[in-house]
Structure 1
Amino acid sequence: MTDEAPGARTLLVTGPGGDGTSTVAAATAVAAARAGRSTLLLSQEPADRLAALLGTAPPAWPEEPVEFADGPAVARVDAAGRFRAGVLAAQRHMRPALDALGAGVLDDDELTELPGAAPLALLHALRTAHAAGRWSLVVVDLPPVTEAIRALALPGQLRRYLRRLLPPERQTARALRPLVAQLLGVPLPAQSLYETADRWDGELAALQRLVEGPGTAVRLVLDPTERSAALGRAARAGLALHGVGVEALIANRLLPAGSGDPLLAGLAAGQRAVLDEFTRATRLAAPHPVPHLGRPVRPADLAELPLPPLGEPGDAGAAEPTVEDRLATDGLLVWHLPLPGATRDDLGLVRRGDELLVTTGPFRRALSLPAALRRCTVAGAAFTDAAELAVRFAPDPDRWPDRALAGVPRAG
């Protein structure tokens, strides 16, 4: 079974809280299903709210996908239920050890989910959906955008922590482990610990490929207010930092221009001014307008909302870091990272060994340096007018081949 069916796509729908993300996600899934695509909608909305949005009334929404005639399959991700099931399963697996220690066990009705359970449950559901191979499109109704980006970054961050705590290259052949332990005078981690870490790394790597792969993109939903635009701009930079592209910007609840009512006309002009500034700062294409209906959206409206057509895989990927070779002219290599939406005041940069730790607003990512840059020292950095973080590297003469530096001017 593969992690992702051939040609399968993932559309992640998010935005500042309260901007209509769930409605746009549901409408996107409905439109795709009616266009003939096998579609699954994943959501963490409460059961009653999800049922009301879709026009159904189940007393309790099951986690398994529910098929609807002429519509998408829908699955509600129950983070609390998944957490309880996981804890109970772990207790059953460890029961002999717990009994030997005289430890008590936890009952289902006393378990409450811990922080971090919701994003892990959502990511697990996403991978399970792709592994099933039943859908060509999975639409994910994500939580508000700051929380959503942290969830998408989780697999890569956890893999980094695993590699730091249990570096794979420090594994020792099983036959030599007792000898090495005696020489060092300390016990070595059990081989089973490394094997468990390898298994976890494989699972996290599969999730990371899904999140950062060319078949995944975001639909960013924005109710054009100053507050939403500020959150959305930071989110655009955070998505770029974590390698997730934006397929479309949805300008939700737009008021009609040219209204005879001065109040409505002023509000509409304000919305468009916010959008103009937002697209300029984030370098996104023109937003796709979804009009304000003048009332709450009803289930029958989902199929009628004017959403953009679905793009093709690979047409919305985030730009990757690149290295510019300026050795011949300036004696430098320049590492470029596109960060549209970022501002100079919100940027932070720290080099730690072979990594660059980049911060933009509330988001941080550790990026591995290419081999050539690992043999260099940081000579400076700037945020350019092209919305790129440009970090200058000067070759370290003690670690750089002499022939590569022949005739190269020294960096000042």
Structure 2
Amino acid sequence: MSPYGNGGPGSGEGEADGGARSAAQAGPDSRVTNLILFTGKGGSGVTTLAAATAAHGAQRGMRTLLLSLGSLSHDGDGADLATVLDHPVGAVPTQVDGLLYAQSFAPQAAFEQWYGKAVTRVRTFVETVGLTPPDAAELLAPPGAGEPLALAEIAAAVDGGAWDLVVADLPPLGQALRLLSLPVAARDWLRRARPVETQAARALRPMLATFAGLPMPQTALVDLTDALVRECGAVEEVLTHQLSSVRLVATPDIVGLDRLRTARCGLALYGLRLDALMVNRQVVEAPRDSWSRGWAAAQQIAAEQLAEIFAGVARHEVPYRPCEPLGLEELAVVAAAAYGEVDGLGAPGRAPAPAVAKSGEGYVLSVPLPGADRRAMGLLRRDEELVLTVGPYRRTLRLEPVLRRCKIAGAVLRNQALEIRFVPDPAQWPADRADEEPADGGPPAPPDAAGAAAASS
């Protein structure tokens, strides 16, 4: 039965076909829901194309949820999406037509729900220090709360199993990339906030609590931190799953091309798969007047640069329309122009991941970064981690065991990837132990230069 009562997803015709198709794509795990995350430059038509894609999926027999996260700073009135659909949209899934449902994320309602769960987790700590937590209805969601709660909303929709397809209408490009990078960044911060010493102390707290006769409040905080780390990992898996993808929307304009190039690098840095570029408002008919011909020529130049920036990425061109498409009938025309007979999902898969390969006396770590500009990159080694910066985006990569005992010997951009060369660190890989198998299970330690020369002679 549908979680939204009679007439909800799962009650319409076509469910069997859509469900069977998704299950076949899902592979060995239990997830059957496809997730497409739409974003792009503000004003490029992201909401319209997200709605057209969702309607297209529903028409092809998939139980579809169109989730609007267009703005995380207000309480999700869904006005823009309601206008595009020509149908009311609320904070819970609302049936638009057949298998198509729409929802506008409501930050305040989501915060109140999360707050109740969080208070339950740390109730012992709160009561120990003599505090009385306020009711959720008394609080206003603090600034920045919308982002993690929005990601949790996406994850719940995907993992709930009620949908074959979830189409998320994200904020404009910069805010969307910050949103999608949040699980990685938050998990890194949380791990640093709870050092190894805290883990050891936690094991002693039950004994200390017995002698003191009071519960140890720090235990609840540590447990909460651990739970948040696990939740960040779960959300990251939802975003990087083989059935998840990001779809960028652009217009054929010169302005904003560099931002799109950097965004493609940012998606790759965070392991997010870009499955297609949608070029909206493309002039396809030969203009008759000189002004329109000049506009079409400028569009052609921008379109060629877009093709270069997004080489290897599927492209869907959406013709220019003199007026905005409103309502399902007009959205169906847009979807037909963009996808034709294709279902619009694309093939499942994961984004290319960093890989380590043996190279001569050392190793090469290859990090996929299509379109990266070396002038906007930074590389920092910090103990067992590598801090990589690409424009406004940054990620900390934990090194493989074999690389932790090596030094960085150089880096180069090649074949849409950053190749970082590592050579053995003599202090970590002494020559008299060169023939031993590393305790960490990595490949055999390479000999030093003298040993290599002796072997070759």
> Which category describes the TM-score, using the shorter chain as reference length?
0.7 to 0.9
- Of the three residues 425, 428, 452, the one matched with 1:396 is 425
Q: Residue 302 of structure 1 aligns to which amino acid in structure 2?
A: L
Q: Residue 242 of structure 1 aligns to which amino acid in structure 2?
A: Y
2:248 equivalent to 1:215: no
User: 1:30: which partner in 2?
Assistant: 55
2:80 equivalent to 1:49: yes
Cα distance change, pair 99–406 in 1 and its aligned pair in 2 (3 A): closer
Deviation at 1:48, TM superposition (A): 2.4
User: 1:361: which partner in 2?
Assistant: 391
Q: Is the 8 A contact 1:334 1:390 kept in 2?
A: yes
- Of the three residues 352, 362, 368, the one matched with 1:332 is 362
Deviation at 1:229, TM superposition (A): 1.8
User: 2:230: which partner in 1?
Assistant: 202
Q: Residue 413 of structure 2 aligns to which amino acid in structure 1?
A: F
Deviation at 1:89, TM superposition (A): 6.8
Q: Is the 8 A contact 2:275 2:346 kept in 1?
A: no
2:298 equivalent to 1:282: no
Cα distance change, pair 409–17 in 1 and its aligned pair in 2 (3 A): farther
How far apart in 2 are the matches of 1:365 and 1:167?
20
Cα distance change, pair 364–271 in 1 and its aligned pair in 2 (3 A): same
2:33 equivalent to 1:8: yes
Task: For 1:370-385, list aligned pairs within 5 A.
Answer: 370-384=400-414
User: 1:406: which partner in 2?
Assistant: 447
Q: Is the 8 A contact 2:31 2:159 kept in 1?
A: no
How far apart in 2 are the matches of 1:140 and 1:297?
19
Cα distance change, pair 256–408 in 1 and its aligned pair in 2 (3 A): same
Question: What is the percentage of aligned positions where both structures have the same residue?
Answer: 33
Q: Is the 8 A contact 2:128 2:217 kept in 1?
A: no
CA displacement, residues 106-155 of structure 1 (integer Å, 9 cap, x when unaligned): 7847x443332222221111111123211111111011111111111111
User: 1:184: which partner in 2?
Assistant: none
Deviation at 1:204, TM superposition (A): 1.4
Cα distance change, pair 301–95 in 1 and its aligned pair in 2 (3 A): farther
Deviation at 1:235, TM superposition (A): 0.7
Deviation at 1:99, TM superposition (A): 11
Q: Residue 304 of structure 1 aligns to which amino acid in structure 2?
A: V
Q: Is the 8 A contact 2:205 2:219 kept in 1?
A: no
User: 2:73: which partner in 1?
Assistant: none
How far apart in 2 are the matches of 1:358 and 1:102?
42
> Scaled by the length of structure 2, what TM-score is found?
0.78
User: 1:304: which partner in 2?
Assistant: 333
How many residues align? The count is: 394
How far apart in 1 are the matches of 2:32 and 2:257?
33
Q: Is the 8 A contact 2:36 2:247 kept in 1?
A: yes
How far apart in 2 are the matches of 1:159 and 1:250?
32
User: 2:257: which partner in 1?
Assistant: 229
Q: Residue 195 of structure 1 aligns to which amino acid in structure 2?
A: D
Q: Is the 8 A contact 2:55 2:100 kept in 1?
A: yes
How far apart in 1 are the matches of 2:217 and 2:93?
41
Deviation at 1:201, TM superposition (A): 1.8
Q: Residue 406 of structure 1 aligns to which amino acid in structure 2?
A: P
Q: Residue 363 of structure 1 aligns to which amino acid in structure 2?
A: Y
Structure 1: which 4+ aligned runs deviate by more than 6 Å? 178-181
How far apart in 1 are the matches of 2:116 and 2:386?
40
> Scaled by the length of structure 1, what TM-score is found?
0.86
Q: Is the 8 A contact 2:173 2:263 kept in 1?
A: yes
How far apart in 2 are the matches of 1:104 and 1:203?
23
Q: Say which is worse superposed, 239-248 or 294-303, in terms of deviation.
A: 294-303
How far apart in 2 are the matches of 1:246 and 1:228?
18
How far apart in 2 are the matches of 1:409 and 1:56?
76
How far apart in 2 are the matches of 1:176 and 1:298?
63
CA displacement, residues 230-268 of structure 1 (integer Å, 9 cap, x when unaligned): 221111111011111111110001112522222212212
Unaligned segments of structure 2, at least 5 residues: 1-25, 71-76, 210-215, 436-444, 453-457
Deviation at 1:84, TM superposition (A): 4.5
Q: Residue 434 of structure 2 aligns to which amino acid in structure 1?
A: D
Cα distance change, pair 100–156 in 1 and its aligned pair in 2 (3 A): closer
